[in-house]
Structure 1
Amino acid sequence: MVSLNFFYIVYGRSLQIDIHDETSGYFQTLLDLLVQGNRDPHDGVINRLAKHDAWSFSDKKLWKSNELQFKNIFGFRSYLQLRQTFIEFFNLCNYDIEKRIQEMGFSRDFEKGLLQIVKRAKSKSGFFADRLYNNMNDPRTLTRIIVSRSEIDLEDI
């Protein structure tokens, strides 16, 4: 994987080892899933799957009893699939997925990680616009975001 190799070349250590040294619990598991880079590249949406996942999200008891399933949904589903799942969740419950995540009592880091995935799935340009705004006082991060998005979608951001 290119980004993992790049991290090792630049910092001389493994990103996965850093994650395990610096994090713990569900947040560590979520980061592990994201670092693996196994998000579904498929651009289509499977409505039946979105409805099934939305139904799973609708039951608070299922969140606690089957957290691995939810980590896999957040870690492996394409962003388009996640967006459709969140729409189906709202249609089913008349409730935003963000509110459900905040009600679950997860650790602060795990909750923030899930909310960032939701934000990215709902609007990629909105996600990066927020990152730009929140890093106005950090020139290094600001430059990295602008350069990395400059030929992709900076105009939309």
Structure 2
Amino acid sequence: MYQRNNQNNMRGVVISTGYKSGTMSHSGYNPYQQRTPTVVPASSFNPRADAEVLRKAMKGFGTDEKAIINVLSKRSNAQRLQIAVEFKTLYGKDLIKDLKSELSGNFENLVVAMMTPLPEFYAKELHDAMSGLGTDEDVLIEVLCTMSNNEIRVIRQAYHSMYHKPLESDLKGDTAGTFKRLMVSLCNACRDESTIVNPQSAQADAQALLRAGELRFGTDESTFNMVLCQRNYGQLQLIFQEYARITGHDIEQAIKNEFSGDAEDGFLAVIRSIKNQAAFFAKQLNKSMKGLGTNDRQLIRLVVTRCEVDMVEVKREYQAKFGESLADAIKGDTSGHYKKCLLALIGEPAS
């Protein structure tokens, strides 16, 4: 079980789920962006009472899905894990197994995700993205290009404990070229996370990026990798501003001109996450629902992981960028208890 202290712009998680304790915290991750969750710890929390409600909801003929949603969507991930411990203590049964036996489809997948310790959840998503034929690079980008050093270290620890292999070795085996070097650099989790900025250094880095890309034949990928993976967020904001000043166009345009495929997507994700992380995740949510069909795994991952971080800002960016509310998009693409639970997690009524 791990415990979380959740304040508007701060999240701390202490983990002890079969591997060495670590801390997964969003505090100080990007001090330039507001972060307001839609799911916060219940103030009058009673895990025993919650366990009893869940047991009653699953006992006998039929399942009271409304009661399950009402409890789990209004508790933090840490509190849900405490409920699971209490459930086992009271009834000698595994809460997740009981939930899986009572639920089905995407609603079951959503609830299981909600009940999984966050580092283990991320580790499994990364592992599954690299398992079998092909690689889901979008998952690697979404996680590694947006995380703080500490978050990556805790996920690495969980990954090694669960799969008995270093995350870095699997990344190396499943990626190639510039994209592989980007993933390995980010997995190394050694970004400067101070708030110290230096305008002169920003000018020098902007000039170096220009020389490495648009002013030469071919591209010196290593310079882009070094700057984007090492500099702190405030410094990178200055570098982006300086690059736009000396070239007359955004750094994103340079990335599109110089790179393609997964490397382009990865570098753009780093830049966009630093500029406006909520807007980045709003775009990912839209991507999970637009077109024919829904990428339910991506939708579940985004809602479950962002609802305790910055979902208020993500919803605002979604409305501004796509002209409809995130709630309406979810209502149009999902149904039943799955829809109701997603809406509850983003702080919206189901009606």
Structure 1 and Structure 2 fold alike (TM over 0.5): yes
Q: Tell me, what secondary structure is at the counterpart of 1:13?
A: coil
- What CA distance in whole angstroms lies between the structure 2 residues aligned with 1:112 and 1:18? 20
Alignment partner, residue 272 of structure 2: 119
Shift of residue 61 of structure 1? 4.3
Shift of residue 44 of structure 1? 3.5
CA 1:39 to 1:128, structure 2 compared with 1: closer, same or farther past 3 Å? same
| Pairs within 5 Å for 1:1-157 | 1-59=153-211, 60-61=214-215, 64=218, 66-104=220-258, 106-136=259-289, 137-157=294-314
Give the unaligned 5+ runs of structure 2.
1-152, 315-351
CA 1:31 to 1:130, structure 2 compared with 1: closer, same or farther past 3 Å? same
Give the unaligned 5+ runs of structure 1.
none
Structure index of larger Rg:
2
Q: 1:37-94 deviations in whole A, cap 9, x for unaligned? A: 1111112422222111111122334695743232111111122221221111001111
Alignment partner, residue 344 of structure 2: none
* TM-score for both structures, normalised by structure 2: 0.41
Does structure 2 retain, via aligned residues, the 8 Å contact 1:41–1:78? yes
CA 1:21 to 1:6, structure 2 compared with 1: closer, same or farther past 3 Å? same
* Higher share in helix: 1
Quote the sequence identity (%).
29
* Higher share in strand: 2
Does structure 2 retain, via aligned residues, the 8 Å contact 1:79–1:120? no
Q: 1:27-46 deviations in whole A, cap 9, x for unaligned? A: 11110000111111112422
Does structure 1 retain, via aligned residues, the 8 Å contact 2:196–2:235? yes
- What CA distance in whole angstroms lies between the structure 2 residues aligned with 1:79 and 1:118? 10
- What CA distance in whole angstroms lies between the structure 1 residues aligned with 2:229 and 2:217? 15
* TM-score for both structures, normalised by structure 1: 0.87
One-letter code aligned to 1:124: Q
- What CA distance in whole angstroms lies between the structure 1 residues aligned with 2:272 and 2:227? 15
Shift of residue 141 of structure 1? 2.3
Deviates more, 1:141-150 or 1:117-126: 141-150
Report how many residues are paired. 156
Task: Note the aligned Cα RMSD (angstroms).
Answer: 2.0
- What CA distance in whole angstroms lies between the structure 2 residues aligned with 1:63 and 1:148? 41
CA 1:44 to 1:147, structure 2 compared with 1: closer, same or farther past 3 Å? farther
